[in-house]
């Protein structure tokens, strides 16, 4: 027997299509039925690769008694938080306000009109059944009390969307804000293992990107050492798939050893970008290997064959977490040449260090290749050849196992992160294939996710695009288009970014505080219209839009854009100073706004290589490149059409005489310390 979810496309919803629960998807019909029958909504939110979502499904949603109570007393709604982040944002905020914490699976009880009043995350079966019965009893006998509480909670959610603007800060004040923020954060660092001094440990690419940029701009050697150590220890640990590439979502311990094995596109895309930037300033072969293997994983496992990429791969296979990724000694001895097993075991710690559960091992490293070779008295080239052979043998064997489920929907915002990752990897490693993949991904978004009326679609699966885009789609696509323009010099891509910004300004912008709503003004009316402002694993859509406004303001010389970005950032000075890790992309925007304005114009035939050299041979963190073409619409180069063989450098709106070679341009940038 199947419930109504059998007609949905979301892998997460389809996982629940054969539960005995009468699940419905979130839509107007579902809300209408709840109201017409005067039944409470039971809103259960998760995602396809969530381990504890699977556990609760097995324990509760496949249980006949629990299903009977759910079906009798509630309208049961399943929501894929990746497909509907707008719904997730409302009910996650409600749970956090009620309990002080959140996470998935998220289970929220709401009045028939959607106003929440109670909820939590994971419930064991006995507690779940008791909760169901108690909630229904309250609704039956104390309905007015529930309505009063739901009304108060909903007003609280709406109140949380109001922001009070601080006065604009001077550059000196900005430096103090960032310095104080970093000082507080340093107290939480794990200087030995990298990351924060707690478990679980998340990679948090947005956060480490800010720390790296701050360390480089301010020549903070201790902070640089911390970030570089964190990146190295992460790539050595079990959180990084040493054989197949790609990072798991987080580590359950402080050593990056035991991962929560699911892999997400958004994590891996941003980590490619982070390692690429780090490689520019610290050309560590370990960083390069992390970039190459992560991209190889994404392009081989997540490729949707249309130019875009899938969302995630599950932690579980055959009902066991991590089964696809772990090894026994017996398996390894049977796969590897007898004379190579011992060195393999020492390299990947098939010993007490890598031991996990049931005599299985998580492959991980504890030193870099140079240190290992010195200890083992072998040449580095020999180790590299051995690793290639080992990876080939183990990948071949692992591919014969039952694979974890892949969430095969393609999300616009996450693919935008991947587009940026390809661009960053191209600039760091000078690999043209990465730029070609970025261009192909750009064309996928334009061809499939860009609607005729200027809107974006949020999701794509099996040849069909669906769900109108959210602010995260517009912000991250616009930002990635700007980065692709900067790598190619193709101004048409930049114009597409401007189109996205203008659409967002018309349909998402709130002039009262200068921020953007997560949903557009013509979208579905939910109980609250939220604004995403805190940076998490993915940067908040508002902070990304701030970067987009500022960058396009420079390129198109639109002062209103740059002023909007400054106003947005001014809402969060206190938060940046006090809670830096949750506002790290805002902090990066603050750095961008107050950085010296550096603009360069480069001949078209030399553009691509000049950008790569500028990225890798300069310490420039923020600069704005232009390609000299006769048809450019950008004000900075409109009077330079007859100077196609010259290079230009302008600093703080003061231009030097044109240069006749790339080397002269870069020498001038060095002299000016930019």
Check residue 670 and give its pLDDT. Answer: 75
- For residue 166, the model assigns a pLDDT of 62
Q: Same domain, yes or no, for 152 and 41? A: yes
Residue 247 domain-assigned (yes or no): yes
Which secondary-structure segment (H or E) carries 201? none
Confidence of residue 164 (pLDDT cuts 50, 70, 90): low
Please say whether the beta carbons of 628 and 602 come within 8 A: yes
**89 Cα distance to chain centroid:** 16
CATH number, domain containing residue 250: 1.50.10.10
pLDDT mean across residues, the chain? 93
Determine the pLDDT at residue 615: 83
Long-range contacts of 154-161 (CB under 8 A, 24+ apart): 154/115, 154/116, 154/527, 154/528, 156/97, 157/90, 157/93, 157/94, 157/97, 157/527, 157/528, 157/530, 158/528, 158/529, 160/93, 161/528, 161/529, 161/530, 161/531
Q: What angle do CA 322, 328, 333 make, to 5 degrees?
A: 140
Percent share of the chain, pLDDT over 70: 97
Q: Based on the fold, state whether residues 449 and 311 are members of the same structural domain.
A: yes
Say if residue 153's pLDDT is above 60: yes
The whole-number pLDDT of residue 430 equals: 94
Is residue 303 domain-shared with residue 333, that is, in the same domain?
Answer: no
Q: Which of 67, 10, 63, 72 is nearest to 40 (CA)?
A: 72
CA angle 50–403–435, rounded 5-degree value: 85
- What mean pLDDT comes out for the span 2-18? 94
Asked if 507 and 236 touch (Cβ cutoff 8 Å), the reply is no
208 near 182, Cβ under 8 Å? no
Are 309 and 438 spatial neighbours (Cβ–Cβ below 8 Å)?
A: no
pLDDT at 667 over 90: no
Classify residue 166: in a domain, yes or no: no
Quote the pLDDT of residue 523: 76
- Residue 115 and residue 260 in one domain: no
DSSP string, 480-508: HHHHHHHHH--HHHHHHHHHHHHHHHHHT
* Residue 520 reports pLDDT greater than 90: yes
Mean pLDDT of 509-517: 94
Is it the case that residue 172 has pLDDT exceeding 70?
no
Q: Of 400, 428, 459, which marks where a domain is finished?
A: 400
Same domain for 180 and 266? yes
Structural domain includes residue 391: yes
pLDDT at 154 over 80: yes
Both 183 and 270 in one domain: the answer is: yes
Question: Taking a C-beta distance cutoff of 8 angstroms, is the pair 107, 123 a contact?
Answer: yes
Q: Which of 110, 135, 159 is the last residue of a domain?
A: 159
Task: Return the exposure string of 43-80: e unless at least 16 CB atoms fall within 10 Å of the residue's CB, then b.
Answer: bbbbbbbbbebbebbebbbebeebbebbeebbbbbbbb
Same domain, 117 and 139: yes
Overall number of domains in the chain: 4
Q: Is residue 38 in a domain?
A: yes
What pLDDT shows up at residue 642?
A: 65
What's residue 24's pLDDT? 96
164 inside domain:
no
The answer on 148 and 63 residing in a single domain is yes
Mean pLDDT for 203-224 is: 95
Global confidence as pTM: 0.93
Is residue 619 pLDDT above 80, yes or no? no
Q: What does the pLDDT look like over 316-359, one tens digit per residue?
A: 998 899 999 999 999 999 999 999 999 999 999 999 999 999 99
**At residue 161, does pLDDT exceed 80?**
no
Domain hosting 64: range is 4-159
- Comparing 89-93, 221-225, 312-316, 616-620, the range with the smallest average pLDDT is 616-620
Q: Is residue 95 part of a domain?
A: yes
The β-bridge partners of 459 are: 411, 466
**Taking 90 as the threshold, does the pLDDT of residue 167 lie above it?**
no
> Is 372 a residue whose pLDDT tops 70?
yes
Residue 578 belongs to a domain: yes
Q: Mind listing the pLDDT tens digit for each residue in 544-576?
A: 999 999 999 999 999 999 999 999 998 898 899
Q: Say yes or no to pLDDT of 674 above 50.
A: no
Whether 165 maps to a domain, the answer reads no
Q: For residues 39 and 42, what is the distance between their CA atoms, to the nearest angstrom? A: 9
Residues 48 and 26 in one domain: yes
Q: Mark which of 159, 193, 213 sits at the end of a domain.
A: 159
Strand 515-516 and strand 509-510: the pairing is antiparallel
Residue 496: pLDDT over 50: yes
Model confidence at 464: pLDDT above 60: yes
Residue 315 has pLDDT above 70, yes or no: yes
Q: Is the pLDDT of residue 525 over 50?
A: yes
What span, in angstroms and rounded, lies between the C-alpha atoms of 271 and 152? 40
Q: Indicate if 558 and 444 belong to the same structural domain.
A: yes
Question: What pLDDT shows up at residue 305?
Answer: 95
Q: Residue 531's pLDDT is what?
A: 93
- The per-type count for the chain, helices as H runs and strands as E runs, is 26, 23
**Do residues 149 and 208 both lie within one domain?**
no
Residues 238 and 122 in one domain: no
| Average pLDDT value for residue range 26-47 | 95
């Amino acid at each position: 027997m199947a419930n109504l979810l059998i007609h949905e496309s979301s892998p997460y919803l389809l996982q629940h299509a054969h539960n005995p629960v009468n699940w419905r998807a979130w839509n107007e019909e579902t809300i209408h039925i709840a109201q017409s029958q005067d039944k409470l909504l039971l809103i259960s939110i998760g995602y396809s690769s969530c381990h504890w979502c699977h556990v609760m499904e097995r324990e509760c949603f496949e249980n006949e008694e629990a299903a009977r109570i759910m079906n009798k007393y509630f309208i049961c709604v399943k929501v894929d938080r990746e497909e509907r982040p707008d719904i997730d944002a409302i009910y996650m905020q409600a749970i956090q306000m009620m309990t002080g914490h959140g996470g998935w699976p998220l289970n929220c009880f709401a009045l028939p009109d959607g106003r929440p009043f109670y909820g939590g995350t994971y419930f064991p079966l006995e507690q779940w059944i008791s909760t169901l019965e108690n909630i229904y009893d309250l609704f039956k006998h104390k309905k007015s009390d529930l309505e009063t509480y739901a009304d108060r909670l909903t007003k609280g959610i709406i109140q949380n969307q109001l922001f009070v603007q601080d006065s604009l800060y001077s550059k000196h004040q900005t430096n103090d804000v960032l310095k104080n923020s970093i000082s507080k954060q340093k107290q939480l660092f794990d200087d030995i293992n990298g990351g924060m001094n707690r478990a679980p440990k998340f990679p948090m690419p947005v956060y480490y990107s800010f720390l790296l940029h701050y360390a480089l701009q301010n020549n903070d050697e201790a902070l640089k050492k911390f970030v570089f150590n964190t990146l190295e220890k992460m790539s050595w640990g079990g959180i990084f798939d040493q054989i197949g590439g790609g990072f798991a979502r987080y580590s359950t311990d402080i050593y990056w050893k035991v991962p929560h094995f699911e892999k997400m596109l958004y994590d891996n895309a941003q980590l490619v970008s982070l390692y690429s930037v780090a490689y520019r300033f610290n050309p560590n072969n370990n960083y390069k290997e992390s970039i190459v293997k992560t991209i190889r994983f994404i392009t081989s496992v997540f490729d949707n064959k249309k130019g875009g990429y899938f969302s995630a791969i599950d932690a579980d296979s055959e009902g066991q977490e991590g089964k696809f990724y772990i090894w026994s000694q017996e398996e390894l001895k049977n796969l590897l040449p007898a004379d190579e097993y011992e060195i393999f075991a020492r390299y990947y710690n098939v010993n007490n260090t890598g031991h996990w559960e049931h005599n299985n091992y998580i492959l991980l490293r504890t030193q870099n290749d140079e240190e290992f070779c010195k200890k083992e008295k072998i040449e580095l080239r020999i180790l590299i050849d051995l690793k290639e052979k080992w990876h080939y043998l183990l990948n071949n064997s692992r591919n014969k196992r039952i694979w974890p489920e892949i969430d095969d929907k393609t999300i616009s915002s996450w693919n935008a992160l991947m587009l940026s990752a390809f661009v960053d990897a191209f600039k760091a490693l000078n690999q043209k294939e990465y730029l070609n993949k970025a261009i192909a991904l750009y064309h996928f978004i334009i061809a499939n996710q860009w609607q005729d009326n200027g809107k974006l679609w949020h999701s794509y699966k099996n040849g069909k695009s669906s769900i109108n885009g959210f602010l995260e789609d517009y912000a991250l696509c616009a930002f990635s288009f700007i980065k692709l323009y900067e790598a190619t010099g193709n101004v048409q891509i930049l114009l597409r970014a401007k189109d996205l910004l203008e659409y967002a300004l018309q349909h998402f912008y709130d002039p009262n505080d200068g921020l953007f709503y997560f949903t557009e003004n013509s979208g579905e009316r939910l109980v609250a219209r939220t604004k995403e402002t805190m940076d998490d694993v993915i940067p908040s859509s508002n902070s990304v839009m701030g970067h987009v406004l500022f960058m396009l303001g420079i390129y198109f010389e639109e002062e209103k854009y740059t002023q909007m970005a400054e106003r947005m950032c001014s809402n969060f000075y206190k938060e940046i100073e006090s809670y830096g890790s949750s506002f790290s992309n805002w902090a990066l925007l603050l750095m961008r706004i107050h950085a010296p304005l550096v603009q360069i114009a480069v001949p078209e035939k030399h553009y691509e290589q000049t950008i790569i050299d500028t990225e890798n041979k300069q310490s420039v963190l923020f600069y704005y490149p232009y390609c000299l073409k006769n048809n450019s619409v950008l004000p900075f180069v409109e009077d330079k059409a007859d100077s196609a063989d010259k290079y230009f450098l302008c600093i703080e709106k003061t231009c030097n005489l044109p240069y006749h070679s790339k080397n002269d341009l870069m020498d001038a940038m060095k002299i000016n310390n930019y």
